[in-house]
């Protein structure tokens, strides 16, 4: 589901609960809102608010960690690809076609990542992409070194290819997000209860409604950021591919 749609659903739920609380306040008998009743409800709501704050904080922290890890992997991958290209260049002119293939494959990956589209990102995990990767690795392994220097460079190139592909798979796995839907649903339910009690204990006026709108927008904005950062390769908030573009310009020089 689109992240903006999820944020909108969260806004409707929490703000609607606040309005429902304002409506129920006008219907409930006075003895339901005496000091003793309000005290108990505030204690229960405080417990829920504490749990909601902890879970929301953990979700934001987890999403930020996923985003930072993907960003780090992209930069590390870009640096490793440059190293691989230079190692192949030092090997000799017989690697010229392999280097050209590396640049073509890398240019395609940059184009896909630049789109930020989940459907396009799926191409990086398609059978064709996997076959191209395996073919490139096979061509590196088939190099026939004629001296100790070339043997060392070949071993280094194979090691760098493994590092590039490992970073690639890790980044693609993180691109799908890792926030469990049931956890988000429970958190929205807790926040709805909290907003409902806000309305239940507050006189109905324009200032209260405006404050609820701002609070609901802030809450839905937090959910939007969590969803966006947990899918760091797509959406509005995604990792920068500037290091990859810079690497692409350095390949096959």
Name the nearest CA neighbour of 231 among 64, 88, 79: 64
Question: pLDDT tier at 51 (50, 70, 90 boundaries)?
Answer: very high
Quote the pTM value.
0.77
Question: pLDDT tier at 176 (50, 70, 90 boundaries)?
Answer: low
Question: pLDDT tier at 253 (50, 70, 90 boundaries)?
Answer: low
**How do residues 195-234 score in pLDDT, each as one tens digit?**
988 888 888 888 888 999 999 999 999 999 988 888 887 7
Tracing tokens 């909290």 back to the chain, one arrives at 194
pLDDT at 1: 58
Cβ neighbours of 217 (radius 10 Å):
15
Q: Following DSSP, what letter does each residue of 155-207 receive, concatenated?
A: HHHHHHHHHHHHHHHHHHHHTT----HHHHHHHHHHHHHHHHHHHHTS---HH
**How do residues 142-172 score in pLDDT, each as one tens digit?**
888 888 888 898 899 889 888 888 777 766 6
Task: Show the beta-strand stretches assigned E in the chain.
Answer: none
Higher-pLDDT residue of 56 and 201 is 56
**How do residues 88-130 score in pLDDT, each as one tens digit?**
888 888 888 888 888 888 888 888 778 777 677 777 777 777 7
**Burial per residue of 1-15, b for 16 or more beta-carbon CB atoms within 10 angstroms, e otherwise:** eebeebbeebbebbb
Task: Measure the CA–CA gap between 246 and 253, rounded to whole angstroms.
Answer: 13
Cβ neighbours of 88 (radius 10 Å):
25
Q: Which of 50-54, 85-89, 112-116, 240-244 has the lowest mean pLDDT?
A: 112-116
pLDDT at 214: 93
């Amino acid at each position: 589901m689109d992240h903006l749609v999820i944020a909108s659903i969260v806004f409707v739920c929490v703000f609607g609960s606040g309005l429902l609380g304002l409506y129920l306040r006008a219907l409930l008998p006075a003895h339901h809102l005496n000091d003793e009743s309000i005290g108990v409800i505030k204690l229960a709501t405080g417990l829920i608010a504490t749990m909601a704050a902890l879970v929301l904080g953990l979700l934001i922290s987890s999403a930020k960690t996923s985003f930072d890890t993907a960003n780090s992997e992209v930069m590390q991958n870009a640096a490793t690809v440059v190293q691989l290209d230079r190692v192949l260049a030092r090997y000799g002119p017989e690697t010229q076609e392999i280097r050209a293939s590396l640049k073509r494959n890398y240019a395609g990956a940059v184009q896909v990542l630049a789109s930020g589209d989940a459907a396009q990102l799926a191409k990086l995990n398609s059978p064709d992409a996997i076959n191209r990767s395996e073919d490139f690795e096979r061509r590196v392994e088939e190099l026939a070194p004629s001296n100790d220097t070339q043997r060392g460079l070949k071993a280094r190139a194979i090691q760098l290819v493994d590092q590039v592909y490992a970073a690639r798979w890790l980044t693609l796995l993180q691109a799908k997000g890792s926030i469990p839907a049931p956890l988000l649903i429970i958190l929205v339910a807790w926040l709805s209860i909290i907003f409902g009690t806000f309305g239940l204990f507050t006189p109905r006026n324009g200032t209260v409604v405006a404050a609820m709108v701002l609070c609901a927008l802030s809450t839905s904005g937090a959910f939007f950021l969590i969803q966006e950062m947990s899918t760091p390769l797509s959406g509005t908030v995604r990792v920068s591919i500037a290091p990859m573009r810079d690497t692409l310009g350095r390949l096959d020089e």
